[in-house]
Structure 1
């Protein structure tokens, strides 16, 4: 987290400078025309190619045919240049520069020097790209710092809220029914998975897909299809299917009708079946806010009631009833504070976070404003 009291002035100044530099670079390109400068860059590239191609053979007492070819190619190149091309006169001047009976290395050096202003114009494109990159980087830095301050605001608001928790509140009034339910539903699901047919267990998981707050991992398609269609294997408990998957095909023929399919499908989904447990059904500690827990408990009743006995449902109803009491949020806040806050956070909350909170809010607002302005 950034220092809540750290002024954002430096980042804002960097952003303004980057914006101004980008605008100046865009104006410099616009004065000439971006398309005209790009055409100039293409012309310089082609000219450099010509000079590099002929410089060695056409100079001094070199190849006379290369000298003639260079003259022809240079004339053709200049004549094809657009009349509106920036620095066209500098290109045209090369025709006179090279119109002599013998060329030297100095002539090629002079030719390149005459195009220095053209190269400076082309450099405006690179400068524009650089300033745009610096501007994008400056914006990203401001956005990241604003996000950091937003996270600090959220953190401080949480500390302020939890710092006011009544740590002497009787949180066991919540913990006892939740822990009793969680333990009971884990035992009930383990017994269900161990003894019921694989078809029944996976049907339950498929049914839970209609309840978004009971987040079982969906049954793999091939496993669901095999268990539903195999009358013999689908009627076996999941531990038995996993044991069967370890058998050789010849041994397995004595137990199921499709031994190779079972080994492929059950063996291929062993990890899924091993990991299938009651985690999506437990409430856990500390609990969710009242409205969320009430809604989730309603969905849990619909799912848990399909395999667990009344004793499990009684604890679930007790949890649901606790979430409806007027004292629930006070108890939950105390539970969350005790469970989540470190000693250091407790001390900071106790000493007060209002100044830091206000500073973080102001810093974030200043950075968001700068992003809008620049």
Structure 2
């Protein structure tokens, strides 16, 4: 289905729902909402008694005591029905008809037939509410399609911004220093984690909370407290993980409180094993020049705590916006990395502006429809 067909179908459905709602609302107004509400309540109460007692008072199952009880219930319902209720005469006729000694199913069928005009009117409020629900759903469907249009427009506008990207630009001018830094900092963190005490690593992670662009996951509290408060925290993380594998009797030879170590470490093994230097790396494709500057500033503070030698490679990355045609190279990298073959083809076909125009027109038409068919 084309965009145009989809839009027209949604609007046509909204229009149809409004017409049906108006028709049913006019029908309600013909008698009055309060009057129909009273009628519906009266009918429901009367019908409920018929439904409960029919099998009990007809045929061989009928007995005088149950019949009297049934008629008393009908009398109770009739007493509660307002004298001026719509079709009061029908209720009275049914009540009079039911004042007999014995009943058959045909007697009940006769009463149901008498109540047919009442049953029809008793559905009108529900029919109106059903039409109102359908109308509101049609509006929600239009709003949902508007959101879809806006998302598609955002995607196409992003593509349009990249339409001038030079796909032949030498992006290795950015990629090589970034990759070299990433490799170096990951190796540096591996060495830090291998050789430093667990306490040093945990303190480093705590310090990183002051640097929101360096997104390390904070260590679990019980792990951090155990490492900080116990002599075992002076051991590297790998050694502590090895201890956690020992039996308690063997662990007695290495730590003061084996149970405390196992409680703190065993449940968080996955966290400690997965801890690596990825949060210290530079994304690819790279950030905008301004974002890169802020990220390198925070990374410098972090990496300097691990291996100051790697900071030199980070400075080379930080200088790329000043020393290269950064935006051209970055846009080319973004296009190559992030866009699918289909999106690249759309870029080259120059059809994006036509698609944008069509989507904007659809969105505007749908928004106009919501104005023409307001919330109810």
C-alpha distance 197-116 of structure 1, shift in aligned 2 (>3 A): same
What is the alpha-carbon distance in structure 2 between the residues aligned to residue 164 and residue 9 of structure 1? Answer: 35
What is the alpha-carbon distance in structure 2 between the residues aligned to residue 70 and residue 280 of structure 1? Answer: 78
What is the alpha-carbon distance in structure 1 between the residues aligned to residue 365 and residue 290 of structure 2? Answer: 36
What is the alpha-carbon distance in structure 1 between the residues aligned to residue 206 and residue 153 of structure 2? Answer: 41
C-alpha distance 119-7 of structure 1, shift in aligned 2 (>3 A): closer
CA-CA distance at 1:102 after TM superposition:
4.9
Contact 2:40–2:123, Cα closer than 8 Å, also in 1: no
CA-CA distance at 1:306 after TM superposition:
1.4
Contact 2:43–2:122, Cα closer than 8 Å, also in 1: no
What is the alpha-carbon distance in structure 2 between the residues aligned to residue 177 and residue 288 of structure 1? Answer: 14
Q: What is residue 255 of structure 2 aligned with on the other side?
A: 256
Query: What do residues 216-238 of structure 1 show as CA deviations (whole Å, max 9, x unaligned)?
Result: 112111111111111x1111111
Query: What do residues 279-318 of structure 1 show as CA deviations (whole Å, max 9, x unaligned)?
Result: 1111121111122221111111122221122x21111122
What is the alpha-carbon distance in structure 2 between the residues aligned to residue 31 and residue 315 of structure 1? Answer: 82
Query: Among residues 309, 316, 320, which one is paired with 1:318 in the alignment?
Result: 316
What is the alpha-carbon distance in structure 1 between the residues aligned to residue 21 and residue 211 of structure 2? Answer: 53
Contact 2:149–2:363, Cα closer than 8 Å, also in 1: yes
Q: What is residue 145 of structure 2 aligned with on the other side?
A: 145
1:325-340 aligned at under 5 Å gives the runs: 327-340=325-338
CA-CA distance at 1:189 after TM superposition:
0.5
C-alpha distance 335-102 of structure 1, shift in aligned 2 (>3 A): closer
What is the alpha-carbon distance in structure 1 between the residues aligned to residue 114 and residue 19 of structure 2? Answer: 32
CA-CA distance at 1:27 after TM superposition:
4.7
C-alpha distance 257-133 of structure 1, shift in aligned 2 (>3 A): same
Deviates more, 1:184-193 or 1:258-267: 258-267
Q: What is residue 198 of structure 1 aligned with on the other side?
A: 198
CA RMSD of aligned residues (A): 2.5
Q: Secondary structure at the match of 1:112?
A: helix
What is the alpha-carbon distance in structure 1 between the residues aligned to residue 322 and residue 35 of structure 2? Answer: 73
Alignment of 1:355 with 2:354, yes or no, is: yes
C-alpha distance 196-36 of structure 1, shift in aligned 2 (>3 A): farther
Q: Secondary structure at the match of 2:210?
A: coil
Structure 1 gap segments, 5+ residues each: none
Alignment of 1:123 with 2:115, yes or no, is: no
Q: What is residue 372 of structure 2 aligned with on the other side?
A: 373
What is the alpha-carbon distance in structure 2 between the residues aligned to residue 338 and residue 58 of structure 1? Answer: 82
Structure 2 gap segments, 5+ residues each: none
What is the alpha-carbon distance in structure 2 between the residues aligned to residue 57 and residue 336 of structure 1? Answer: 78
Q: What is residue 174 of structure 2 aligned with on the other side?
A: 174
What is the alpha-carbon distance in structure 1 between the residues aligned to residue 271 and residue 105 of structure 2? Answer: 76
Bigger relative contact order, structure 1 or 2, given CA contacts below 8 A and separation 6+?
1
CA-CA distance at 1:134 after TM superposition:
2.2
What is the alpha-carbon distance in structure 2 between the residues aligned to residue 361 and residue 105 of structure 1? Answer: 64
1:16-31 aligned at under 5 Å gives the runs: 16-29=15-28
Residue correspondences, number:
371
| TM-score normalised over the length of structure 1 | 0.89
1:1-374 aligned at under 5 Å gives the runs: 8-29=7-28, 32=31, 34=33, 37-56=36-55, 58=57, 62-100=62-100, 102-230=102-230, 232-309=231-308, 311-324=309-322, 327-352=325-350, 353-374=352-373
CA-CA distance at 1:271 after TM superposition:
0.5
C-alpha distance 38-277 of structure 1, shift in aligned 2 (>3 A): farther
C-alpha distance 300-24 of structure 1, shift in aligned 2 (>3 A): farther
